[in-house]
Amino acid sequence: MRIINQFPTRRSRLILGVVPFAAIAVIYALASRIRLEANPADRLLPAFSSMFDTFVRLATEPDRRSGDIVLWTDTLASLSRLGLGLGIAAAIALVLGIMIGFVPKFRATLAPLVGAMSLIPPLAILPILFIVFGLDELSKVALIVIGITPVMTRDLASRVADIPEEQIVKAQTLGASSWAMTLRVVLPQTLPRLVASLRLALGPAWLFLIAAEAIAATDGLGYRIFLVRRYLAMDVILPYVAWITLLAWLSDLALREFAARAFPWSKSGGGL
């Protein structure tokens, strides 16, 4: 039988899904053990147990220097930057996306600009961002916003342009003004795509957040990772990476659940 027609059973699917994770864990555990036998103080590949201990320490004990429990301070700082950045980016992308997708004159004016902006690598213009936005929270949020807004805008504009012309014509025959159509026809049909777009932007947003925190910060998950990298504390870095992965996965899940509840009429709301 052709391979595309062979379907694993439920149990096989579970096992096959777990195999790569288990293999990575085994590779890590072995390599770590070999290194630790040669040098018990090795920092490159700490044992799972010492990573766990470090994580528990970071999550429960106040830091010797600042007195804060660093995991929670860092998480709170990073999540608030991320949330603010995603929120602002979503608002800008929604307004611009609808303008570009719905109003031909705005499209002619703005589409080339947004297209060009989306091609600029934001990390390459960091010094300009510093001078414009300073080094505080603002510049970190700005980096996220600048990093993800153009792509989200283009995505939303194309979704708006994809709304069947029949609906727009129909709305006009029902007496709608441009503003009323924007509010009652275009906006609600764009919102599920906005959520989907946000889910796709989560990855880049984390990337820009961590880059921003690496440059100048006093707290944050990215700050901690780059700080302890100075003394190769992989026992801090690896659990932090796992923690970030978990947070990213949870935020994706939350957005998906939100879309399924908020837009029951939309296929793309619940799917993916």
Instruction: Give least dist CB 250 to other proteins, A.
Output: 27
Helix pair angle (187-215, 234-262), 10° resolution: 170
Non-local CB neighbours of 259 within 8 Å, separated by 6+ positions: 192, 195, 196, 266, 268, 269, 270
Q: Which is nearer to other proteins, 13 or 116 (CB)?
A: 13
Instruction: Give least dist CB 143 to other proteins, A.
Output: 12
Binding residues among 77-116 for other proteins as defined by CB under 8 A: none
What is the rounded CA–CA span in Å between residue 254 and residue 148?
19
Among 52, 56, 63, 241, binds other proteins (CB under 8 A): 63
Q: Which stretch binds other proteins (CB under 8 A): 43-51, 92-100, 105-113, 253-261?
A: 43-51
Binding residues among 146-205 for other proteins as defined by CB under 8 A: 164-167, 169-177, 179-180, 183-185, 188-189
* Per CB under 8 A, 261 contacts other proteins: no
What is the rounded CA–CA span in Å between residue 51 and residue 14?
27
What is the rounded CA–CA span in Å between residue 226 and residue 233?
10
Pattern 23-42, other proteins, x by CB under 8 A: xx-xxxxxxxxxx--xxxxx
Instruction: Give least dist CB 145 to other proteins, A.
Output: 18
Q: Which is nearer to other proteins, 151 or 217 (CB)?
A: 217
Alpha helices by DSSP H, 39-136: 48-60, 70-102, 104-117, 126-133
What is the rounded CA–CA span in Å between residue 37 and residue 40?
6
